[in-house]
Amino acid sequence: SSGINAEWPLRPGGPVFQKLFTTDYFKTTAVKDKDTVELCGALKNIVAVAAGFVDGMGLGGNTKAAIIRLGMKEMVQFSKMFSPTSQQLTFFESCGVADLITTCYGGRNRKVSEAFVKTGKTLDVLEAEMLGGQKLQGPMTAKEVYHVLKAKGVEGSYPLFRSVYEICYEGMPPKHLLDTLSTI
């Protein structure tokens, strides 16, 4: 089938919802790995912020692809740490790599982060100007994730997540993100 795919954590009734919402152009799947589905939905927004910084600096597709690859690596790593039962195959479902790519090329976190680099305005100001009441999840998620990593003493193993946090909250310049590429 072609078209759009969507997943949700498998719960009682999941197969009924799957059957109800699946059409010729919209495929749904019920995934048993609930924690990883939910983590992908949150962590992708951190990577999208980084992708927006890359776009704002005009660094091109290869740099953006490298950032997305490193972001996916850190998503998998964090998910394994947070949920030891995390299944690698879940990252190949629509909730993983497909949603990550879509968010890094067209999501609001990417769009506002690009404007952050180009305009020098704060993320709060840009959120109010550009999103019509919607909120950015990427910076807030980066903050929460960073505090978890710091508490565990492993923030150095997550250079992309750490850099996004430092740019959003500690005043590091967006070009600081490029330092993460030397880790891959």
* Axis crossing angle, helix 99-106 with helix 61-82, rounded to the nearest 10: 130
CB 180 within 8 A of CB 46: no
Give strand pairing partners of 28. 6
Separation between Cα atoms, residue 156 and residue 9, nearest integer Å: 31
Burial class (CB in 10 A: 0-12, 13-18, 19+), 153: exposed
Separation between Cα atoms, residue 183 and residue 81, nearest integer Å: 19
CB 47 within 8 A of CB 75: yes
Catalytic residue among 32, 44, 73, 118: 44
Separation between Cα atoms, residue 50 and residue 48, nearest integer Å: 5
Residue type, 71: G
Indicate if 152 belongs to the active site. Answer: no
CB 34 within 8 A of CB 24: no
Active site residues: 44
